[in-house]
């Protein structure tokens, strides 16, 4: 399973020679196994002369080792270090290949940003079903049930289960439901914490979802991304489909908010930066807390061999350390790596005309 720790390890990895990175969409709906193998051969063919051992290792894996049960396959190979890492995931990727001095991790960061670590709670008056999804796959599932909700219609009469003291029959039902939802919220908080969930979705009636959210600890209330109508009896595929739909809508709204925040802060000169070179400078200084990048944005650049400063401009010597510059294929990729390495966050923005107008990249600053 791909995790943030895996991403950090790939970023920290310093290979002895170039790394061949391959992202391959193998979703059965997009073609047969033979079709996917043909696409792979076309992707890695340009690197046959530069990295023949890596090409051979990847071809061997595809032919004899991969089980073809996932929707996407990610491969990193550096034969000079005997390094080979395959990652199979259940969400689609855009097929591509890169031969670079480091593993090509920008698409991985995007996948974790969009599909990583979210929890779903289906709730009713008696309890909750809890799900943990990561990269489109159900990783954990738990459930909890409290006291039965019995009314006169059920044959419970005025002595409904869980009734404490006097009061109306409806009051007794509400009290029991509240206790159940409070217990379910406590159970859910532990479940979300254990699985390192970073956003929460709640399914159920409006009333039950609101009650459940109210009983969650404040830290988890702040991570509730949305609610939706769904019965406790829903199947796993129904839950997964609805969760992905809600996550997509939430991402769109969050992206729009972040872009507005970045542009406004940069315009005021207070806590924000836009355009490639200014953003690269802030990244080098360790100032960027949240990097916003237009999805698919790539730009060639130059990196100082001394201090690592990155720029899109061709410069003879570094103004910081006097070192010389080497040309790099993608300055944006290096910015993504450096922000993650420094403990910041990266948000990939889709279809934002506002971000495109200010250079396709920007950031929210720590200071």
Per-residue pLDDT reduced to its tens digit, 6-51: 999 999 999 999 999 999 999 998 889 999 999 999 999 999 999 9
How far, CA to CA in Å, does 182 sit from each of 93, 122, 334?
A: 40, 14, 46
Neighbours of 147 (CB within 10 A): 18
Q: How confident is the model at residue 165 (pLDDT cuts 50, 70, 90)?
A: very low
pLDDT at 246: 87
Say how far apart CA 103 and CA 86 lie, in whole Å: 12
Give pLDDT tens digits for 297-322: 999 999 999 999 999 999 889 988 99
Say how far apart CA 124 and CA 181 lie, in whole Å: 8
- Is residue 167 pLDDT above 70, yes or no? no
Q: Closest by alpha carbon to 236, among 115, 113, 130, 90?
A: 130
Strands 301-304 and 325-328: antiparallel
Q: What's the whole-number average pLDDT of the chain?
A: 90
Go through the domains of the chain in sequence order and give each one's CATH number. Answer: 4-104 (3.30.960), 115-234 (3.30.420.60), 252-365 (3.30.1330.30)
Say how far apart CA 124 and CA 319 lie, in whole Å: 63
Say how far apart CA 203 and CA 242 lie, in whole Å: 9
Q: Closest by alpha carbon to 116, among 199, 7, 12, 8?
A: 199
152 phi, psi to nearest 5 deg: -60, -35
Q: How confident is the model at residue 264 (pLDDT cuts 50, 70, 90)?
A: very high
Give pLDDT tens digits for 68-113: 888 999 999 999 999 999 999 988 899 999 999 999 999 999 899 8
């Amino acid at each position: 399973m791909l995790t943030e720790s895996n991403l950090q390890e790939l970023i920290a990895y310093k290979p002895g020679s170039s790394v061949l990175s391959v992202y391959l969409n193998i979703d059965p709906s997009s073609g047969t196994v033979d079709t996917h193998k043909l696409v792979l051969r076309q992707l890695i063919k340009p690197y046959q002369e530069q990295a023949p051992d890596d090409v051979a290792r990847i071809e061997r894996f595809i032919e004899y080792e991969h089980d073809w049960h996932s929707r996407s396959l990610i491969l990193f190979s550096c034969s000079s270090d005997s390094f080979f890492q395959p990652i199979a995931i259940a969400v689609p990727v855009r097929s591509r290949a890169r031969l670079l001095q480091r593993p090509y991790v920008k698409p991985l960061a995007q996948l974790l940003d969009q599909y990583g670590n979210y929890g779903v709670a289906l709730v009713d008056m008696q309890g909750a079903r809890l799900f943990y999804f990561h990269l489109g796959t159900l990783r954990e599932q738990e459930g909890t049930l409290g006291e039965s909700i019995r009314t006169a219609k059920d044959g419970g009469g005025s002595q409904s289960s869980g009734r404490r003291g006097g009061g109306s029959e409806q009051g007794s039902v509400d009290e029991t439901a509240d206790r159940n939802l409070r217990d379910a919220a406590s159970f859910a908080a532990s479940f979300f914490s254990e699985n390192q969930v970073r956003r929460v979705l709640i399914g159920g009636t409006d009333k039950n979802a609101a009650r459940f959210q109210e009983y969650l600890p404040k830290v988890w209330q702040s991570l509730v991304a949305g609610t939706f109508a769904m019965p406790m009896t829903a199947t796993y595929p129904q839950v997964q489909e609805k969760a992905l739909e809600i996550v997509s809508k939430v991402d769109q709204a969050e992206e729009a908010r972040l872009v507005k925040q970045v542009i406004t802060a940069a315009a005021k000169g207070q806590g924000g930066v836009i355009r490639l070179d200014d953003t690269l400078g802030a990244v080098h200084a360790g100032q960027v807390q949240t990097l916003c990048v237009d999805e698919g944005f790539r730009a060639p650049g130059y990196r100082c061999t001394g201090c690592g400063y990155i720029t899109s401009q061709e410069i003879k010597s570094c103004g910081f350390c006097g070192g010389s510059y080497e040309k790099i294929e993608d300055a944006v990729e290096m910015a993504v790596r450096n922000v993650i390495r420094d403990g910041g966050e990266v948000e990939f923005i889709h279809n934002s005309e506002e971000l495109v107008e200010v250079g396709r990249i920007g950031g929210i600053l720590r200071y």
